[in-house]
Amino acid sequence: METNKGCSFGGIIAFVVLVGALLLFKNLWKIILAAMGLLVLAVVIYIVYASAKEKKTKTEAEIANGNISERVAAYRKMLSELMHYYYNIHDKTVKEKLKLVEKAANRMIETVKADARDAEKAGLFMRTALDGAKRVMQTYQTLEKAPEGEDIEKAKASALESLEKVVAAFDEQNKKLYENDVLNMDVETEVLNQSLEEDFSDSGKTPEA
């Protein structure tokens, strides 16, 4: 009798364990299915995000390329206007410096075309440098037509020094632009602008650009 009771009790325990295992197994499958569902959802979200990001990147690149084309056209126009003075100046040293400005400006244009990330800062510098060089050439052209004298020669020398500043600034900023080291480019552009303004102020000749 006791043996029968023991068997019955053992059977009940086995049944309870079996039911518990089945319930646990059932819940485990629910957890697995839920995890798989979340994983599929995450994959779908990632695919949608990646696709949208790629589309946005392409759009931004197209816009940037369009803007760069316009910028480059504007830079080349300014450079062409500057080089107009090359044919109206007689001093060989000044003409050589002007050619150096042209080469440096073209190098910067090519750098911006290859990598447009710093185009805005490069554009500000180029406008400042080319405008400064243009004003130097306007001054020098006027001086060449003036009667010879000590003051005129000093003014010519000062104008040449200003042009050399532009060449040096172009060389330095070209290097930094190529290396993507443009953190202080805005500041250095303003320094060049102020330096040229002081040169024009000291010479007493600041022709309209």
Residue 60: predicted pLDDT: 44
Residue 26: predicted pLDDT: 58
Cα 135 to Cα 43, 162, 177, 187, 193: the distances in Å are 60, 10, 25, 21, 12
Does position 108 have pLDDT exceeding 60, yes or no?
Answer: yes
Residue 107 identity (one-letter amino acid): R
Residue 67 or residue 160, greater confidence: 160
Q: Tell me how far apart the alpha carbons of residues 126 and 75 are, in angstroms, rounded to a whole number.
A: 7
Triad 138, 91, 169: Cα angle to 5°? 60
Residue 148: predicted pLDDT: 85
Residue 143 identity (one-letter amino acid): L
Q: Tell me how far apart the alpha carbons of residues 7 and 27 are, in angstroms, rounded to a whole number.
A: 30
Cβ-in-10-Å burial (0-12, 13-18, 19+) of 47 comes to exposed
Residue 68 or residue 145, greater confidence: 145
Cβ atoms of 113 and 103 closer than 8 Å: no
Does position 59 have pLDDT exceeding 80, yes or no?
Answer: no
Residue 150 identity (one-letter amino acid): E
Cβ atoms of 136 and 162 closer than 8 Å: yes
Among 4-13, 96-105, 149-158, which is the least confidently predicted range? Answer: 4-13
Q: Tell me how far apart the alpha carbons of residues 205 and 144 are, in angstroms, rounded to a whole number.
A: 14
| High-pLDDT (> 90) share of the chain, % | 23
Residue 182: predicted pLDDT: 79
Residue 200: predicted pLDDT: 74
Among 56-70, 78-92, 162-176, which is the least confidently predicted range? Answer: 56-70
Residue 18: predicted pLDDT: 57
Does position 209 have pLDDT exceeding 80, yes or no?
Answer: no
Q: Report the SS3 class of residue 205.
A: coil
Residue 96: predicted pLDDT: 92
Domain spanning 69-203 has what CATH number? Answer: 1.20.120
